[in-house]
């Protein structure tokens, strides 16, 4: 078994979906000016004498940095820029204990989707979905 470490930076124009940001983080969120999502991950490589048998991605950390425009819900002339930063490096399990915890106490739940097709020639981060209400992150390789 071998292990390679990677850092992928996703920009706003890639496949990034943020769910419930406005509901959970900032009710006055209007739109994003700039967004960076950094994913620290590693590839676990299993091999035999005849070559590589399988490769699995494992996400270690997700960092989110968003600069966004906000606008007052009551006064259209009141607006400005805000920053939001979040680093998630501790993930939980989808179990009964998590379901009974308050959202504030829940650890983030991480799902790694690796869909290897025969016509693709590499492992890259293709998309990310972040749900701020359910505290879930899904990374697609």
Count of domains forming the chain:
1
From the centroid of its chain, how far is CA 102? Answer: 21
pLDDT band, very low/low/confident/very high, at 99 (cuts 50, 70, 90)? confident
- DSSP-based three-state secondary structure for 41: strand
Read off the DSSP letter of residue 106.
P
Q: Taking the model in full, what pTM does it have?
A: 0.84
Backbone angles phi, psi at 21, to 5 degrees: -60, -45
Burial class from Cβ neighbours inside 10 Å (0-12, 13-18, 19+) for residue 69 reads middle
Cα angle, residue 15 at apex, residues 11 and 20 outer, rounded to 5°: 95
What is the pLDDT at residue 76? 82
Is there a contact between 52 and 45 (Cβ–Cβ < 8 Å)? Answer: yes
Domain range for 94? 2-140
3-state SS, residue 105: coil
> Span 74-95, mean pLDDT?
90
Q: Is pLDDT larger for residue 42 or for residue 97? A: 42
SS3 37: strand
Task: Tell me the pLDDT band of 109, cut-offs 50, 70 and 90.
Answer: very high
Structure tokens at 58: 């494992």
* Dihedral (Cα; 86, 92, 10, 2), 10-degree rounding: 130
């Amino acid at each position: 078994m071998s292990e390679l470490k990677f850092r992928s930076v996703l920009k706003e124009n890639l496949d990034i979906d943020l769910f419930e940001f406005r509901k959970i983080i900032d009710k006055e969120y209007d739109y994003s000016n700039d967004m960076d999502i950094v994913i620290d991950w590693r590839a676990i490589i299993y091999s035999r004498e005849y070559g590589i048998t399988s490769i699995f991605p494992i996400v270690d950390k997700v960092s989110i940095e968003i600069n966004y425009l906000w606008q007052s819900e009551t006064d259209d002339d009141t607006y400005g820029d805000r920053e939001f930063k979040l680093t998630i490096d501790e993930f939980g399990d989808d179990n009964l204990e998590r379901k009974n915890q308050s959202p504030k106490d829940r650890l983030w739940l991480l799902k790694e989707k690796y869909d290897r097709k025969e016509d693709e020639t590499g492992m890259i981060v293709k998309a990310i979905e972040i749900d701020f209400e359910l505290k879930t992150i899904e990374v697609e390789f």
